[in-house]
Amino acid sequence: MRRPIIAGNWKMYKTIADALELANGLKRELYAIEGVDIVIAPGFTLLDEISDVIAGSNINLGAQNAHWEAEGAFTGEASVAQLKELDVKYIIIGHSERRQFFGETNEGVNKRIKAVLSGGLIPIMCVGENLSQREKGNTFSVVQDHLRGGLEGIEKEEAKDIIFAYEPVWAIGTGKTATPAEAQEVHGFIRKKLAEIYDNDTAQSMRIQYGGSVKPDNIEDLIKQEDIDGALVGGASLKVDSFSEIVKKSVG
């Protein structure tokens, strides 16, 4: 049985005061919840303060990216070691907004994933097609390309901890969710590819989140799908009520 994992991607939202209010509210709402891994991924400037607030709770800290080098002249980036110092445990890598607006490539994603793993943290590796790729019938080839490129040279023993997030770009922040059946179809494909790249047991143990307009009213139908093991939530993770409800509904 794969344990569900719900992660909130706060993107470039919230100042410190607002972020503290949100984190404290989530702690109050979620302290008794068991059977699900809960992650929040605030922006870099918020990590230190949020880390203190959630220390010792059932909410884990995530970051939204990390560079592959240990240190160096890389303006605007943060290293795995710098994030680890703040008790970050999960790092989102290859989010479609990174790919689309900041030129992130499979090669960069692959290097970042390797750095996260060798630092002992857990990558949340995002894959997914955009609207024109879907309309041209290229969903599976794009997803396969993201998987193969991102996982290049990563052995099974290391890869088993990676969390995958299937995020159809056309469903992110648009209010359009893939139907549970559409999402399941791609999740099943991802698991099949992971079995080809690694082996069936490894693929069966890996967790695959769905992301793209996840809300309290669609999480239950999504999480019921055989190969959907959680959610990567953007907009609805910015409010105590909606994120808590999503977490609670993911464990029934």
Binding site for ligand PGA (CB under 6 A): 9, 167, 172-173, 211-214, 232-236
Active-site residue (options: 67, 97, 167, 187): 167
What residues contact 198, with CB distance under 8 A and at least 6 apart? 156, 159, 160
Find the Cα–Cα–Cα–Cα dihedral 110, 121, 230, 96, rounded to 10°. Answer: -30
The H-assigned helical ranges of the chain are 16-30, 47-54, 80-84, 96-102, 106-118, 131-135, 139-151, 156-159, 180-197, 200-205, 219-223, 240-250
Closer Cβ to ligand PGA, 50 or 165, answer by number: 165
Nearer to ligand PGA, 22 or 233 (CB): 233
- The minimum distance between CB 201 and ligand PGA, in angstroms, equals 29
CB nearer to ligand PGA: give 42 or 234: 234
List CB contacts of 101: < 8 A, sequence separation 6 or more.
Answer: none
CB of 225 to ligand PGA, least distance (A): 17
98 versus 114: smaller Cβ distance to ligand PGA:
98
Would the CA dihedral through 222, 29, 173, 161 be positive or negative? negative
Least distance from ligand PGA to the Cβ atom of residue 167, Å? 6
Q: How many CA atoms lie within 13 A of 104 on its CB side?
A: 27
CB of 234 to ligand PGA, least distance (A): 2
The tokens describing 61, both together, are 């800290």
DSSP, res 226: T
As measured in angstroms, the least distance from the Cβ of 173 to ligand PGA is 4
Q: For residue 158, indicate whether it is catalytic.
A: no
Q: How many Å apart are CA 47 and CA 37, to the nearest integer?
A: 19
Give the pairing of strands 59-63 and 230-233. unpaired
Which CB, 186 or 233, lies closer to ligand PGA?
Answer: 233
95 is catalytic: yes
Write down the catalytic residue from 67, 95, 146, 187: 95
Which residue number is nearest to ligand PGA in terms of Cβ? 234
Residues marked active site are found at: 95, 167
